[in-house]
Amino acid sequence: MSKKNPYKPTLGDKFWRMAWLPGREGRELEEDFHYAVTVGKMWRAEFLLSEKKVNIASGDHFAVRWAANGGHVDMLNLLFRHGGVDVNAKDGDALIRAVTQRHHAAAALLIDHGADVSRQDYKALRTAAARSDAAMVAHLLAAAKDAQAVVQELLTAAEQQEHPAEKSCLRLYQAYLARNDSGHRPQDKDDHGPQGKNGHGPQDKNSAPPRPPQR
Locate the domains of the chain by residue range.
Answer: 1-116, 118-185
CATH topology of domain 1-116: 1.25.40
The gap between the terminal CA atoms of the chain, to the nearest Å, is 101
pLDDT in tens, the chain (215 residues): 346 677 999 999 999 999 999 999 999 999 999 999 999 999 999 999 999 999 999 999 999 999 999 999 999 999 999 999 999 999 999 999 999 999 999 999 999 999 999 999 999 999 999 999 999 999 999 999 999 999 999 999 988 877 776 788 999 999 999 999 655 444 444 444 444 444 444 444 444 555 554 54
Q: How many CA atoms lie within 13 A of 215 on its CB side?
A: 1
Please state, in angstroms and rounded to a whole number, the distance separating the CA atoms of residues 9 and 32.
Answer: 15
Please state, in angstroms and rounded to a whole number, the distance separating the CA atoms of residues 42 and 74.
Answer: 8
The tens digit of pLDDT for each residue in 159-197 reads 887 777 678 899 999 999 999 965 544 444 444 444 444
Read out DSSP for 56-109? TTHHHHHHHHHHHHTT-HHHHHHHHHH----TTHHHHHHHHHHHHTT-HHHHHH
The tens digit of pLDDT for each residue in 79-96 reads 999 999 999 999 999 999
Q: Residue length, the chain? A: 215
Please state, in angstroms and rounded to a whole number, the distance separating the CA atoms of residues 111 and 119.
Answer: 12
